[in-house]
Amino acid sequence: MGGQALKQDTIILVVTSEATWQNLDTYCLNEHFRQNRDRFDLAIVFNGTDEAALQKIKAVAPEHLLVRENLGRDPGAFDAALRALPVHEYEQTLFMHDDHWFDQPDWFDTLHALLEQRPEIDVFGNLVVASVHAPPNYEGICYSLGYHEYKLANFPYFLQGMAGLFRKNAIDTLKRLGGVPHIHRNVVEVGQVCERLLSFILLNEGHLMAQIPPGYEKYLIHHEHYKNGNSSSKPASRLSGIAKRLHRVLIRGR
């Protein structure tokens, strides 16, 4: 692990691996990302040991680099970053996978304008209906992990891939409650459940989330899903009224 003193108030946390690092140039670290590079601190979590990948990553000169064993899927990587890197010291954290990207050159200004315009929102990203494509053994996995109270029916949506813009208070909540749920193994179904649990924990603690305008995967894009029109997730853009009502029920029932 390497790190430097904070230079900016925003950190962008990118997770990549020995199997997917070649996505970086095509997606995450594209031209628009690089044009804004002097405006944020960059942290990269690399899951694996591939030397060619590490040299490529070091060439980007991240302020923070965490190299770890490729286990736990993305929730495990996010949790490791919260524990090992000074993510909580920044005012906002943008969490991305190596195949998330922006196709607009003003993405950085747009995201910060959202923070100013919507002070009540703690997390911005792509919101997906909670029950869509949930593993059939969701509740059993939750019980095994110690999160039996987080039933799908109690939550309106979750943050796709955990990717999005988090205010410091949301990051502080995750750290206070023990980090991001995960297991130290690569089990797809458990990873899917843990991604949902991150959102459900924050919602249950009173944090509000919002879809990045102008809509689902139209700004923060995942791989080629939006361009090809083949995203397998159902956006939650039409659930704002339902979401607010369910959110009030959750908070009152705590």
Hey, is 165 helix, strand or coil?
strand
| Residue 252 pLDDT > 50 | no
Q: What pLDDT is attached to residue 197?
A: 97
Q: Which two tokens stand for residue 249?
A: 């029920």
| Residue 156 pLDDT > 60 | yes
Amino acid found at 75: P
| Residue 1 pLDDT > 50 | no
- Summarised one tens digit per residue, pLDDT across range 116-145 is 999 999 999 999 999 898 999 999 999 999
What are the residues facing 16 on neighbouring strands?
A: 46
| Residue 4 pLDDT > 70 | no
- Summarised one tens digit per residue, pLDDT across range 60-110 is 999 999 999 988 789 999 999 999 999 999 999 999 999 999 989 999 999
Contacts of 62 (CB under 8 A, 6+ apart): 42, 43, 44
Between 3.30.420.40, 3.90.550.10, 2.40.110.10, 3.40.640.10, what CATH number should domain 10-252 receive? 3.90.550.10
Q: What pLDDT is attached to residue 72?
A: 72
| Residue 217 pLDDT > 60 | yes
Query: Is the peptide bond prior to 214 cis by the omega test (within 30 degrees of 0)?
Result: yes
Give percent of the chain with pLDDT exceeding 90. 75
- Summarised one tens digit per residue, pLDDT across range 161-186 is 999 999 999 999 999 999 999 987 87
Domain boundaries, the chain: 10-252
| Residue 251 pLDDT > 90 | no
188-204 and 138-145 helices, crossing angle to 10°? 70
Distance CA 137, CA 25 (A): 36
Q: What pLDDT is attached to residue 233?
A: 67
| Residue 3 pLDDT > 70 | no
Q: What pLDDT is attached to residue 185?
A: 80
The single residue listed with the structure tokens 């705590």 is 254
- Summarised one tens digit per residue, pLDDT across range 42-66 is 999 999 999 999 999 999 999 999 9
Q: Which two tokens stand for residue 172?
A: 């502080």
